[in-house]
Amino acid sequence: MIKYALVCENGHDFESWFSNSDAYDTQAKRGFVECPHCASTKVHKALMAPAVSTSKRRARNEAVAQSPATPDAPQPVAILDEKQLALREAIRELHAKITENTVDVGAQFSEEARRMHDGEVPHRAIRGEATLAQAKELWDEGIPVLPVPSLPDGRN
């Protein structure tokens, strides 16, 4: 996996992970790399300093990874406007439609998607769980997957 700092034609900075540099090139050429701020597909790589792992940084990262999240820790919050509330409702409706029209294959999603793509099992609409890396691998293999947005509060 490789993380690129990216910039769209409107100057928005963002980062994205790719399975390798060829995957970025292929996806960008096909218009699949999109700015999360303005949806522009005219995106290019930005200059980026390499992340050098020092013993101090490793120790700090391990400490952060091992420290449990406390329920009393401040969390980002916002008051939603009408458009954002409508978007939340649209996501809830999307979840309901997906649940109603697909078979849940759980953690076996990647394997089952590949088996369908390879013709080992009949094609059907499925849903399940996959890491971002697994979803990107499926996409790079030509298997159409759709990451489903979740709501921050966990309610669908």
pLDDT of 64: 52
Task: Burial-class residue 90 by CB neighbours within 10 Å (0-12, 13-18, 19+).
Answer: exposed
Q: Are strands 2-8 and 13-18 parallel, antiparallel or unpaired?
A: antiparallel
pLDDT of 91: 84
Tens of pLDDT, residue by residue over 111-135, are 999 999 999 999 999 999 988 889 8
pLDDT at 10 exceeding the cut of 60 = yes
Quick check: 111 and 141 in contact, CB under 8 A? no
Tens of pLDDT, residue by residue over 60-116, are 656 555 555 556 667 666 677 788 888 888 888 888 888 899 999 999 999 999 999
pTM beyond cutoff 0.75? no
Cβ contacts of 145 within 8 Å, gap of 6 or more: 113, 130, 135, 138, 139
Three-state DSSP state, 41: coil
Give the helix, strand, coil percentages of the chain, each rounded to 5: 40, 15, 45
Cβ contacts of 7 within 8 Å, gap of 6 or more: 13, 14, 43, 44, 45, 46
